[in-house]
Amino acid sequence: MNKAFPLLLCIFYFACADSSQKETKTVASTTTSEIKKTIAIDPKTIDSTKLNLNFTPKGNYEAIKQSITRDRSYFSKKLRHGKQKTIDSAAAYLYDKLLNELIPHWYGTPWDFNGHTNIPNSGEIACGYFVSTTLKHLGFKLNRYKMAQQAGLNEAMTLQAKNNLKIYRNISQNDLKTKINQVYRDGLYFVGLSNHVGYVLIKNRELYFLHSSYCDNIVVIEKAATSPCFQSDMYVFAEITTNEELVQKWIQNSAIPIQQ
C-alpha cells in the first residue's frame, strides 16, 4: 500500500508503517479452551459489557463464514418486499457478525508490513489486509489483495463515493471526535491515516480503533484518542455499516470494484 495520491497540492502516503516506527505497550492475556494468545485490550479503558461486544473468539471460523453466505440469501429475498427495512436489518447483522464473530478470531494475530494471511492467528497480517480480508470474509464481493495494495483514499473510495467521504487534516483528537460525532452515528467505519488504515467503531460518542497495529505488532482494539497508531496529519473516513448503498451491494452479492 505504498501508492501516493495528490490532494490539495500535498502528497500523502497511506500504508502500514515500517518496523522502525514500532512502539511497545502493556497488553492483557486471555485464555480460552480453544486458544491462548496475547491481545491488546486494556480492561481499564475497553469495557466489553459497556460496548456490548464480544472479544473472545467463539465457534469455528469457517462455519461462521458459511453461515454468512447462507444468511445473505435470506436478506436477498426480503429485499424484494421491503427495501429500507431489509437494508436496516442487514446493516445490524453485518455489524454484529463482523465485530462479535469474525474479528474476535483476529485479535492477537501478528502484524507484519507484508503480512497477508487469510487465516486468523496463522501467519501475519498487514493493516490493509486486515481490513480487506475481514470485509471479504463478511461476504463483500471484492479482491482483498487489490484493495489492500491501494492508497488509503482509494480504499475509502472503494467503499463509498468520494464526495461522501469525510476528510480531516491537521486536527486535534478532541476536535476530530467532536466533528465525527456531528456527522456520524454509532456504527463501524473505515479510516485511512497518513501511514495506516483500520476500522473506527463509534459507540456512545466514543471512538475505538480496530487495526493490525505496527505499534503493538498485533491486531488490537483500543480507544482511538490514546492509540499511538491513530496519530496522523490526515484522516479519511468511509461509512460501512451506516452505508446503505454498500449494504445493498452485500445483500445482492454485487461486485465491488477496487478504486485505483
pLDDT at 41: 75
Contact 198, 208 (CB under 8 A): no
Higher-pLDDT residue of 32, 254: 254
Q: pLDDT tens-digit profile of 191-214?
A: 999 999 999 999 999 999 999 999
Cross-strand pairs, 48: none
Average pLDDT of 137-144?
Answer: 98
C-beta of residue 159 within 8 angstroms of C-beta of residue 243: yes
Domains (range + CATH), the chain: 60-251 (3.90.1720.10)
Per-residue pLDDT at 120 exceeds 50: yes
Least confident of 38-52, 109-123, 169-183: 38-52
Q: pLDDT band for position 24 (50/70/90)? A: very low
Mean pLDDT for the chain overall = 87
Task: Find where cell 482511538 sits.
Answer: 224
Q: Which residues are bridge partners to 147 per DSSP?
A: none
How many percent of the chain have pLDDT more than 90? 80
> How many Cβ atoms from other residues are within 10 Å of residue 153's Cβ?
22
Q: Is the pLDDT of residue 27 over 80?
A: no
- CA-CA-CA-CA torsion sign (77, 101, 143, 88): positive
The confidence score (pLDDT) of residue 29 equals: 34
Contacts of 198 (CB under 8 A, 6+ apart): 127, 130, 131, 190, 191, 209, 210, 211, 212, 229
**pLDDT recorded at residue 15:** 52
Per-residue model confidence (pLDDT) at position 70: 96
User: Which comes out higher in pLDDT, residue 112 or 23?
Assistant: 112
* DSSP H or E stretch at residue 65: helix 61-79
pLDDT of residue 32: 37
The pLDDT, as a whole number, for residue 65 is: 98
